Amino acid sequence: MRYLFILLVVYTIVMSIRKKSFLDVDGMKFTLPTPFKTSSLGLGIGFLATMLGVGGSVITVPFLRKRGLAMLHAVSLANPLSLPIAIVGATTSIATGLQQPGLPEWCLGFVYMPAFLGIVLEGFIGVPLGTHIAQHLPDRLFSKIYFILLVVVVLIMVFE
């Protein structure tokens, strides 16, 4: 799964560089995809994200940028989509790991509860702070920062 995730992010990075619409949507008008395309893409993103254990924004944000959406709005729409993916992933990890012998203390299935609580609590700090910062960034700078974070994630995953 790790290598599939790396391939997915590398593909996203390459396509973003190739299309150039990721870094610059100035002058582009947002076009709403057809309901069929939206549903198909949503199912595909949800499936991939759940299987890879990631939020769907790594795929959704570049898609919305390609359609002409400002970075602030693309991220604002994509990030809440991670919640249902996280709920399904966590529930599945708990259910499949409940009967697994030899798990470390503080595990509920395959979910390590101190880490889970830390992530949730840090979200209450990080989300408002990130929202405040994002609202004051120029679109092009915001997209460059997001793009750099994708590259950093790939490098960490490759060399970890």
In this predicted model, what pLDDT tens digit does every residue of 31-48 receive, in sequence order?
A: 888 899 888 988 888 788
Both tokens of 47, joined, read: 């499936």
**pLDDT of the residue at 53:** 67
In which domain, by residue range, is 154 found?
Answer: 2-159
> How many domains does the structure of the chain reveal?
1
**pLDDT of the residue at 76:** 87
Q: By percentage, how much of the chain surpasses pLDDT 70?
A: 98
pLDDT at 88 over 90: no
Both tokens of 65, joined, read: 């940028």
Phi, psi of 34 (to 5 degrees): -65, 155
DSSP H stretches of helix in the chain = 2-19, 35-52, 57-66, 71-78, 82-97, 113-134, 139-159
- What is the average per-residue pLDDT within 95-123? 94
Q: What is the DSSP letter of 67?
A: T
Indicate the average pLDDT of the chain.
86
Q: What is the largest CA-CA distance in the chain?
A: 57
